[in-house]
Every structure is written in C-alpha cells, then in structure tokens.
Amino acid sequence: MKVKRNLLKKKAKSFYFASIFLSKDCFTNCSQLYNFCRIVDDIADNNYKNKKFLLKNIYNSITNPDLFKSKYISEIKPLIKSNIINKVCLKELIHGVMLDTKKKISILDKSELINYAYYVAGTVGIMMAKILNTQNKYAYRYAVDLGIAMQLTNIMRDIIEDASMDRVYYPKVWIKLTSKNILENNSNTIKNINKATEKLFELSEIYYKSAFKGIAFLPFRSRFAILLALFVYRQIGRKIIKNSFSNLKKREIVSLYEKILFLFKVFFIFIFNFNTHFKKYQHDENLHDTINSKTFLKSIIYEQK
C-alpha cells in the first residue's frame, strides 16, 4: 500500500491532499482505482505501438476474464471481485480513453466535449461515489458533474501538453484551432484562444456548482474530503483566468500554501454552511442532456427511482 500511496501522492497531489481525510479502507480503494486510471491513461498517452490492442485487451479482460487476460487489471481486480465498482462504468472509462488513441484529436461542439468528459471522468465520479459508500443513487448524478468539471479543468490546464500530441479538446464551434496554432503562440491567435478558455472555464463552473449540491449525499467523513478536493481542483481553473490565461505559458498548479488555506476555508464551510449537509433532489438534468442515452448514467441511474 505504501507504493500506491506514493504514486497517488506524486501524480495526483490535489486529490492526495484531500484524501488523507478519508477512512483507511476508502483511501485504499481510491488508490487502487486511481492507479488503474493512471495505467490506462499512460497507455493512451505514451508511444506504445500497440496501444489500441492493449486497451482493447483490458476491456475484454474485464468483460470476460475467463477468456482474456491482461496484466494491467491487477490493480482493479480486488474492486471488481468485491463488487465495489461497476464493471459497466469501468468499460465506459476505457472506451473514453480509447478515444485518445487517435493520431489527431479534435472536438466538434459542446455536446461532444461533455460526452468525452463523461466517459473519461464522469464514470470515475460514479465509481468514486460507490467506493465512498454512497447509498443514495441520486448522488451519482452530482458525482458525474464533479468528474466532468475536473476534466474540463484538465483540458484548460493541459492545452499545451495536449497540443504537443496533436490533441485539441476545445470545440471547433467555439474556435477553429489546430495544435500548430496553439504551439506557435501567435499573437493573432492568442486572443481567440483566451476567449475559448474563458468559455471553457465558465462551463466548468456550472458543473462544479452542481457537484457542490451533491456533497450532502456523501457519508459524513467522505463529505469533507470530497468538498476539499472540489475546492482545490477548482482553483486550477480560477488561477488560469486570474493569471491572465497562464495555461498558454505554464501548467498551473495549486501550491501547498494555497491548499492549507483551502483546508481552513472548507472547514468553515463544512461547519457553517448547512447546504453541505442537507440533501436536495434538484439536479439540473439539462447538464446531462447530450450524454449518450446508452451510457450507465442514462440507462441505469436515470431509470432508478
């Protein structure tokens, strides 16, 4: 477990900071899920010649472990066997990651962007909600929103890194942009990129605000940790905007000093803001309108009364 803890601490510093407030079992399970997500992401992002085959084999190993074997699912096996996570969500996650194996990636519109964010991050939100022992399935709607919000933040933050791999996740209907445009950092293009970044930030804020409404559905101890994770991760996007669209210059992070400040802020909110402790069944279904109707979210969660 020390290795798992160190990987989470090194690669997911914002979440690690919040996760220390989880119970030991929850932290262990979160670490296993994170490590698996890291593995499939690394396969998609690195120069594996057979990356599509590897991801497909992982997918098949989850679907039919008797016929297919993949060494990469060792991290996630305990969670599957104990039914802590749903295999359908896991397969949807891999489907989303497989979208990143294309030689050139572009997103047409907001609908395609939200669908992509659901597959690669909204699914993780659902699995995290289950890991945190969330009993009320209505909470999964908000968990999806937190995953989507964080993914939109990732897209803002990693615009240069993604462009270097010929990936552009900013919708074409917002801005006709190529990876070359981003990397050239041309003064004629920067203004339009910044406008699109601001639009992406505003979209992420909508999903963060929705996710905040779902905090009350979490078990009491997990509630504080996830609220802290929400505020810390949200700060990345806010820093990008505050620092004059710094995502075109560097990969923005939240410092330890800032995290400690958020710790006190979240503690104050946790104690005095009663909205964090009272369940409200007021999720805005418009936020999920464009998500594929065959997904676990739409076909299972929305069908459960």
Confidence (pLDDT) at 1: 42
Confidence (pLDDT) at 240: 98
Interior angle at CA 67, CA 66 and CA 73, nearest 5: 70
| Number of other residues whose CB lies within 10 A of the CB of residue 164 | 12
**Binning pLDDT at 50, 70 and 90, where does residue 276 land?**
very high
Query: Looking at residues 213-225, what average pLDDT do you find?
Result: 94
Angle, in degrees to the nearest 10, between helices 51-63 and 24-45: 140
Confidence (pLDDT) at 49: 77
What is the spatial distance between Cα 82 and Cα 25, in angstroms, rounded to a whole number?
13
**Binning pLDDT at 50, 70 and 90, where does residue 245 land?**
very high
Closest CA to 234 of 257, 264, 259: 259
Query: Looking at residues 221-249, what average pLDDT do you find?
Result: 95
Confidence (pLDDT) at 68: 80
**Binning pLDDT at 50, 70 and 90, where does residue 13 land?**
low
Confidence (pLDDT) at 16: 64
| Number of other residues whose CB lies within 10 A of the CB of residue 206 | 16
Domains with residue ranges and CATH for the chain: 2-301 (1.10.600.10)
Structure tokens at 75: 């991290």
User: What is the CA 211 to chain-centroid distance, rounded?
Assistant: 12
Compute φ and ψ for 284, nearest 5 degrees: -85, 105
**Binning pLDDT at 50, 70 and 90, where does residue 21 land?**
confident
pLDDT tens by residue, 121-158: 999 999 999 999 999 999 999 999 999 999 999 999 99
Residue 4 pLDDT > 70: no
Residue 11 pLDDT > 70: no
| Number of other residues whose CB lies within 10 A of the CB of residue 186 | 11
Q: How many CA atoms lie within 13 A of 197 on its CB side?
A: 27
Query: Looking at residues 227-246, what average pLDDT do you find?
Result: 96
Confidence (pLDDT) at 159: 96
* Count, residues in the chain: 305
Residue 3 pLDDT > 60: no
Largest CA distance in the chain: 56
Confidence (pLDDT) at 2: 43
Give residue 224's identity as a one-letter amino acid code: F
Question: What integer best gives the mean pLDDT of the chain?
Answer: 91
What is the spatial distance between Cα 256 and Cα 133, in angstroms, rounded to a whole number?
29
